[in-house]
């Protein structure tokens, strides 16, 4: 069970998620402090560790639009958040997969801050309202990268597996 700690609308750009003025900071260990930096309430909760790992951001369509900045994904991954959205911008989606950020596409999702969500392979159940929403699963290869913790972890795992077979 995961709690929705933040709800956004459509077309949330990478500049909202990770403002451009922080682009000099690129280390994944340092980017989380700037997540939603222009939203004092959300940023403050994250930095004060008031948001448990696995908590959810519910978003509308086209989440992560705008630039290709990878920091918009790494800053969210740093808090081990799950993003449930009606849809994701293409580059944000791929950057998130590469970094192992947990993404769920649920085109009809309805949830508010504080709602409890149960996320399974093919649906999201809003336990607060009792409504169920279908998800669009990622292709198995992309999901395997997320499950491994990102592209680097996935590649390491595959190299070790292949070496063991040799």
**Structure confidence by residue, pLDDT tens digits, 107-164:** 999 999 999 999 998 999 999 999 999 999 999 999 999 999 999 999 999 999 999 9
CA distance 166 to 162: 6
Q: In the chain, how long is the greatest CA-to-CA distance?
A: 53
User: Residue 21: which pLDDT band, with cuts at 50, 70 and 90?
Assistant: very high
Percent of the chain with pLDDT over 70: 100
Sort strands 102-105 and 82-85 into parallel, antiparallel or unpaired. Answer: parallel
Structure tokens at 22: 């922080």
Query: Which residues make Cβ contacts (< 8 Å) with residue 5, sequence separation at least 6?
Result: 45, 51, 55, 56, 57, 113
Sort strands 56-59 and 2-7 into parallel, antiparallel or unpaired. Answer: parallel
Structure tokens at 114: 């504080």
Query: Which residues make Cβ contacts (< 8 Å) with residue 61, sequence separation at least 6?
Result: 10, 11, 85, 86, 87
Q: What is the set of domains in the chain, with CATH numbers?
A: 2-165 (3.20.19.10)
């Amino acid at each position: 069970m995961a709690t929705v700690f933040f709800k956004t609308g459509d077309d949330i750009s990478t500049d909202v998620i990770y403002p451009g003025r922080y682009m000099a900071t690129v280390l994944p260990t340092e980017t989380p402090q700037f997540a939603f930096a222009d939203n004092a309430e959300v940023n403050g909760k994250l930095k004060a560790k008031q948001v448990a790992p696995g908590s959810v951001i519910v978003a509308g369509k086209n989440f992560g639009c705008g630039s290709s900045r990878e920091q918009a994904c790494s800053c969210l991954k740093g808090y081990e958040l799950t993003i449930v959205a009606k849809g994701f911008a293409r580059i944000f989606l791929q950057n998130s997969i590469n970094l192992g950020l947990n993404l769920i596409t649920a085109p009809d999702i309805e949830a508010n801050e504080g709602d409890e969500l149960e996320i399974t392979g093919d649906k999201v159940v809003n336990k607060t309202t009792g409504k169920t929403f279908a998800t669009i699963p990622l292709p198995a290869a992309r999901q395997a990268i997320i499950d491994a913790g990102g592209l680097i972890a996935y590649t390491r795992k595959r190299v070790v597996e292949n070496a063991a077979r040799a």
